[in-house]
Copies of this chain bind each other. A is one copy, B any other.
Amino acid sequence: METLAIVGVGLIGGSFALAVRRAGFAGEILGVSSKRTIDAALAVGAISSGVTLEQAAECADVLYLAQPIDQILHTIEVLGPLARPECLITDAGSTKSLIAAKAAECIRSASFIGGHPMAGKEQRGVEHADADLFRGRPYVLTPTLHPNSNSDEFRLWLVKIGSRIIEMIPERHDRVVALTSHVPQLLSTTLAASLADAGDDAVTQVFGPGLIDMTRLALSAPEVWMSVLETNKLAVLEGLRIFQNELAATMVALESGDVNRLFTHAERFATKIRVN
């Protein structure tokens, strides 16, 4: 890979650019974004110049799509007939099935790998990009379409920037993130909405630090979540039904005064994900 193009230079795209640069990438890094974002990305040194998507398709060895999901789907359609066979297209979208299907449909000879870096922070935008964002974090990759030397090299860069690569098919990824990310998001949002509707203003005063933890995700920007939920609707609904059943079991345990086993079971899982 001699030329890398970041399409959508936000927190994730900008962090990937800074990370490969820090890890020794000496080639050019192009950015495709709005004028305002390109200026910000140049200012933090994430990219070396701003170009159009068509210019990026002409010369990039790797096209890294870090846009919202609906825009990634559109970009793949546009790149389909443009991308060179020796190029790799990869994305960082939070759901993978629809993106993989779109890539299989539109991308004729270039390589494609779906990706999902399990990394982020509360602040958005390239101003907050961080070369260490991916370090020690899982990076899910879905199976490679039309492998080539750039798709092989891309995996090496992920290792160099400190990611832990986890490979799985798109459908399994989407089922897992429904359970670990999309359901927790909706529980936090639903909890906050339910308290807003409680009809007793004391709920905004009489609470401890636990409520702050449990409503932090409810602060998430809706515009990010719309396309995530829309492109993973069936898996999320299934995850919520699983949670509903588990909640019904919790209520039965509570009624019979037998929540000890539930707490111990849950505590073991909560501890395990903190050790990993």
* Residues of chain A at the chain B interface (Cβ within 8 Å): 116, 118-121, 138, 140, 164, 166, 168, 172-173, 175-177, 179-181, 183-198, 200, 202-220, 222, 225-226, 229-230, 233, 236-237, 240, 242-244, 246-247, 250-251, 254-255, 257, 259-260, 262-274, 276
Residues of B with C-beta under 8 A to A121: 209
Name A241's closest neighbour in chain B (CB-CB): B251
Shortest distance in angstroms between A164's beta carbon and chain B's nearest beta carbon? 8
CB within 8 A of A202: which of B166, B187, B220, B267?
A: B166
What 4 additional pairs, Cβ within 8 angstroms, besides A190-B250, A212-B274?
Answer: A180-B195, A204-B276, A212-B273, A216-B270
Shortest distance in angstroms between A203's beta carbon and chain B's nearest beta carbon? 5
A265 near B230 with CB under 8 A, answer no
A181 near B208 with CB under 8 A, answer yes
Residues of B with C-beta under 8 A to A200: 172, 175-176, 179
Shortest distance in angstroms between A253's beta carbon and chain B's nearest beta carbon? 10
CB within 8 A of A189: which of B207, B230, B262?
A: B262
Residues of B with C-beta under 8 A to A197: 246
A176 near B206 with CB under 8 A, answer yes
Q: List 6 A-B pairs, minimum CB-CB distance, nearest first.
A: A192-B266, A222-B263, A180-B207, A196-B269, A218-B270, A194-B246
Q: List 18 A-B contacts (CB under 8 A).
A: A164-B205, A166-B202, A166-B206, A180-B211, A184-B210, A184-B214, A186-B254, A187-B191, A189-B259, A189-B262, A193-B250, A193-B262, A194-B242, A205-B276, A215-B273, A218-B269, A222-B263, A230-B257
B208 near A118 with CB under 8 A, answer yes
Name A192's closest neighbour in chain B (CB-CB): B266
Once bound together, how far apart are the Cα atoms of A190 and B190, in whole Å?
15
With contacts A186-B250, A194-B243, A214-B214 taken as known, whether A206 is within 8 angstroms of B269 at the C-beta atoms is no
